[in-house]
Structure 1
Amino acid sequence: MTTLPERPNTALLVIDVQNGVMAGAPHRDGVIANINTLIDKARAEDVPVIWVQHSDDGLKQGSEEWQYVPELVRADAEPLVHKLYGDSFEDTELEAVLAERGVGRLVVTGAQTDACVRSTLHGALVRGYDVTLVGDAHTTEDLTAYGAPSPDQVIAHTNLYWKFQTAPGRTAGTVDTTEVTFTPAAVN
């Protein structure tokens, strides 16, 4: 149901699962395992896997913190989108990468829930994409010292509110890893 004409395909988006981002993240190992499960499934079904990698003062390009976690291995043919802002579309080639592959639906995983994941979810929906969040395949750091809710509350709230997002001609939803299909009919 995407509002992007002639874009029937789905892609798996893996956002910022980098050493510095994932250091100390709750449920780190389980989230990474779920993302690996989705990557394997996407590859088996010839669904594009698109990797996004963030750079900033704390994640200097080329540093160990900037590198993707070693448990996730990008295939050479899979696009890697470099970004400087929370929204993976902002000032990147992500839109061109998706258009080239006829993608109008995204299945989103990664980190951080309350920053880059959430920004990208909204960025995709307003750009016309159908967007499914994988509820057990994203995480965030503990920012309670700054007044934020606990990471588990942030994750639960994001999963809840994204489940009910809608926009004209577009769908959104939240599913667990075991419920993910890469066909549009499965969007909840």
Structure 2
Amino acid sequence: MGKTAVIVIDMINTYEHADADLLLPSAQETVPAVTRLIDRARTQDIPVIYVNDNFGEWRSHHGEILEEALSGGHADLVEPLAPDERSLFVVKARHSIFYETPLAYLLTQLGVDRVVLSGQVTEQCVLYSALDAHIRRLGVVVPRDAVAHIHRDLADAALRMMERNMAAEITTADRVALSP
């Protein structure tokens, strides 16, 4: 196993979107596991990279995205896992964390060959990002308790697909091996 990075997908969120009412219960369950995973990574000097939707705000940067999420009605879901001064931040516009972002280049620069995908939504952004990571020959780990879903049945199917079709390791946040 080479170098690992923990990727936090779309957790800097105001939850003011069409599926928020379906996502919120799962996000509330997921935040403690994501927070533990981030804390473990930071303690072990493992890169933590936030890849977050810009919500169509093309003039936003990561600080503005974070400020807006922290001033919204669900700051309790953002504050525990907010980026620190060492965190890296990539803004995305579509489902995959790789689609037209500099993430692949960043991972190469960091010497990362294995990603731990956490965040939301399991059956959308996490699934598409896992496929794109697999295509790029990166090892993929998905802690099932650190990914939130909109539809449980689709999330379960997505996790099975990631494991079977993309050789992803499906585990829990506390069992993820972060370093060799």
Answer whether TM exceeds 0.5 for this pair. yes
The equivalent residue for 1:15 is: 9
Q: CA deviation at 1:81?
A: 0.2
Instruction: Please show how residues 30-45 of structure 1 align to structure 2 within 5 Å.
Output: 30-45=29-44
Distance of 1:13 and 1:30 partners within structure 2: 18
Q: CA deviation at 1:71?
A: 2.5
Distance of 2:6 and 2:162 partners within structure 1: 17
Identity of aligned residues (%): 26
- The 8 Å contact of residues 165 and 173 in structure 1, kept in 2 or not, is answered as no
Q: 2:45 corresponds to which letter in structure 1? A: D
Normalized per residue, which structure has more helix? 2
Q: 1:114 to 1:40 in 2, by over 3 A?
A: same
Q: Please give the per-residue CA displacement for 1:10-58, whole angstroms capped at 9, x wherever unaligned.
A: 0000000122269432322220110000001111111110101102349
Q: CA deviation at 1:100?
A: 1.6
Q: Please give the per-residue CA displacement for 1:109-166, whole angstroms capped at 9, x wherever unaligned.
A: 011112211111111110110101111111133xxxxxxxxx1112221222222234
The reply on whether 1:55 has 2:51 as its aligned counterpart is: no
Instruction: Please show how residues 43-82 of structure 1 align to structure 2 within 5 Å.
Output: 43-57=42-56, 61=60, 62=64, 67=69, 69-82=78-91
Query: Which runs of 5 or more residues in structure 2 are unaligned?
Result: 71-77
Query: Which runs of 5 or more residues in structure 1 are unaligned?
Result: 2-7, 142-150
Q: 2:32 corresponds to which letter in structure 1? A: A
Distance of 2:14 and 2:65 partners within structure 1: 10
Q: 1:77 to 1:164 in 2, by over 3 A?
A: same
Q: 1:156 to 1:162 in 2, by over 3 A?
A: same
- The 8 Å contact of residues 120 and 147 in structure 2, kept in 1 or not, is answered as yes
Q: CA deviation at 1:94?
A: 0.7
- The 8 Å contact of residues 36 and 72 in structure 1, kept in 2 or not, is answered as yes
Q: 1:67 corresponds to which letter in structure 2? A: A
Q: 1:137 to 1:59 in 2, by over 3 A?
A: farther
The equivalent residue for 1:87 is: 96
The equivalent residue for 1:180 is: 176
- The 8 Å contact of residues 51 and 90 in structure 2, kept in 1 or not, is answered as yes
Q: 1:138 corresponds to which letter in structure 2? A: V
Q: 2:10 corresponds to which letter in structure 1? A: D
Count of residues paired in the alignment: 165
